[in-house]
């Protein structure tokens, strides 16, 4: 049978069609595998997150144990629990061991800035600026009356004279730098008392308290008992399926006088 040019052209079309089909199948298969991996990662992270939340509940019940000797210490030491297939490390810390910039005296803020690396002059000015921002100095101007110092720095806002809503808000205070905020952030809270508890303070806060102790500005440590509510920061770090790692935190007020024995003040990821 004689060879016809049309037969060769048809064969080429068939071959290219097969190549195209093979390419489409490979692409769909690859996308399907990627989506399966993404879905698997999402499930693993959700499982680890649920384990974190469950471990926080375990920690709360531990804090409510009527036998004080059975309660975990509030010193940040690790406590391991297993929730399902996840391994969770819990750390409990007394929130009153941190400094509350909304209510702390300027001398304490200044001391914290000094012990974290600020020079004395900058620490004094920044502590005053924080007090002006939160309104603790009584000299803050409303935002519409923007102070000249903020205008001179090229800022289109001024101190509101109101308590901070988040620690991140300190980044807007005149003179605050990312490095300074990163240095003091681990030692701050918006839920603690005006004077931190020296019995549970970390070494940095302890050093700041020591700097002003001579002036008798620090009261005697409070006796923390079940009758006296204590604010506890619970941090849960889960290692779940497929090596998923999730961290969740909660801040709880615990005390026998509270309804149910505790009150949740904050719960989630990335708490200040």
Q: Of 186, 213, 245, which residue is a domain's last?
A: 186
Any domain includes 153? yes
At 20 the pLDDT is: 73
Q: Are residues 71 and 90 in the same domain?
A: yes
For 96, the domain range is 1-100+189-200+222-272
Same domain, 95 and 193: yes
Together in a domain, 154 and 29: no
Considering the domain architecture, whether residues 134 and 39 belong to the same structural domain is answered as no
Instruction: Confirm whether 25 is domain-assigned.
Output: yes
Final residue before a domain boundary, out of 159, 186, 213 = 186
Same domain, 56 and 122: no
Percent composition of the chain: helix, strand, coil (DSSP 3-state, to 5): 50, 15, 35
Q: Give the model's pLDDT for residue 147.
A: 80
Lowest mean pLDDT among 189-193, 213-217, 229-233: 213-217
Residues 164 and 94 in one domain: no
Residue 87 lies in a domain: yes
Same domain flag for 158 and 95: no
| Same structural domain, 13 and 53 | yes
Do 56 and 7 sit in the same domain of this protein? Answer: yes
Q: Which of 9-18, 63-72, 154-163, 195-204 has the lowest mean pLDDT?
A: 9-18
Tell whether 19 is covered by a domain. Answer: yes
- Identify whether residues 83 and 9 lie together within a single domain: yes
Q: What is the pLDDT of residue 44?
A: 85
Indicate whether 9 and 68 sit together in one domain.
yes
**Count of domains in the chain?**
2
For 148-178, give the DSSP string: HHHHHTT-S-----S--SSGGGGGGSTT--H
Residue 113 maps to a domain: yes
Residues 175 and 113 in one domain: yes
- Distance of alpha carbon 94 from alpha carbon 233, whole angstroms: 6
pLDDT in tens, 22-51: 777 776 676 666 776 777 678 888 889 999
Q: How confident is the model at residue 134 (pLDDT cuts 50, 70, 90)?
A: very high
pLDDT confidence bin for 16, thresholds 50/70/90: confident
| Residue 8, in any domain of the structure | yes
Residue where a domain stops, chosen among 186, 210, 233: 186
Please check whether residue 131 lies inside any domain of the structure.
yes
Q: Which residues pair with 71 in a beta bridge?
A: none
Handedness of CA 198, 103, 116, 230 (dihedral sign): positive
Q: Identify whether the C-beta of residue 83 lies closer than 8 Å to the C-beta of residue 180.
A: no
């Amino acid at each position: 049978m004689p060879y016809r040019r049309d037969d060769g052209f048809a064969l080429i079309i068939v071959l290219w069609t097969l190549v195209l089909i093979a390419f489409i199948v490979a692409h769909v298969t690859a996308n399907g595998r990627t989506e399966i991996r993404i879905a698997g990662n999402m499930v693993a992270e959700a499982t680890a997150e649920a384990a974190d939340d469950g471990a926080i509940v375990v920690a709360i019940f531990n804090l409510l144990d009527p036998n004080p000797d059975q309660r975990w210490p509030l010193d940040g030491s690790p406590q391991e629990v297993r929730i399902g297939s996840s391994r969770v490390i819990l750390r409990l810390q007394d929130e009153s061991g941190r400094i509350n910039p909304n209510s702390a005296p300027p001398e304490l803020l200044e001391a914290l800035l000094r012990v974290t690396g600020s020079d004395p002059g900058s620490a004094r000015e920044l502590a005053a600026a924080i007090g002006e921002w939160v309104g603790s100095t009584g000299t803050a101007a409303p935002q519409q009356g923007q102070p000249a110092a903020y205008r001179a720095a090229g800022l289109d806002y001024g101190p509101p004279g109101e308590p901070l809503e988040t620690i991140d808000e300190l980044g807007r205070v005149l003179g605050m730098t990312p490095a300074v905020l990163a240095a003091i952030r681990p030692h701050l809270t918006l839920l603690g008392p005006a004077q931190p508890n020296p019995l549970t303070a970390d070494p940095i806060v302890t050093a700041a308290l020591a700097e002003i102790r001579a002036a008798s500005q620090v009261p005697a440590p409070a006796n923390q008992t079940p009758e006296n509510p204590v604010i506890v920061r619970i941090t849960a770090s889960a290692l779940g399926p497929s090596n998923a790692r999730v961290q969740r935190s909660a801040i709880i007020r615990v005390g026998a006088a509270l309804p149910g024995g505790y009150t949740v003040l904050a719960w989630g990821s990335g708490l200040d």
